[in-house]
Amino acid sequence: MKKVYSTFSSFCCNLFGHHYSVSKKVTLHIKEYKCIHCGKEVTTDVSGNLSELTPELQEINSTLENLYQKRHGAAQQQVA
Ligand SMILES: [Zn+2]
């Protein structure tokens, strides 16, 4: 199966840059973003820059998210 669409999208991203939209709010300051064209995922790192979303950073983010939600759990409780 040829991945023509994703190849074309990456080509556009290379030309025009990625078009990120927030895919997940980790904390008030840290968010995960996903490119709407090629699906590339990035995240805000501790210094406020965008880094590629590696499995390591994904794990850090989910830890941060847990801490954040515990700390703010009283205000907004999630019902699973
Ligand atoms: Zn892209």
pLDDT tens digit sequence for 3-12: 555 677 788 8
- Provide the domain limits for residue 45: 19-71
Q: Which band of pLDDT confidence, cut at 50, 70 and 90, is reported for residue 80?
A: low
Residues with a beta carbon under 5 angstroms from ion ligand 1: 13, 18, 35, 37-38, 40
Give the integer Cα–Cα distance in Å for 31 and 22.
7
pLDDT tens digit sequence for 30-52: 999 999 999 999 999 878 899 99
Tell me, yes or no, whether 54 lies in a domain.
yes
Which pLDDT value is given to residue 9?
Answer: 77
Distance 63 CA to ligand 1 centre (A): 26
* Number of domains, the chain: 1
Distance 59 CA to ligand 1 centre (A): 22
Tell me, yes or no, whether 1 lies in a domain.
no
How would you classify residue 17: left for phi > 0, otherwise alpha for psi between -120 and 50, otherwise beta? left
Tell me, yes or no, whether 35 lies in a domain.
yes
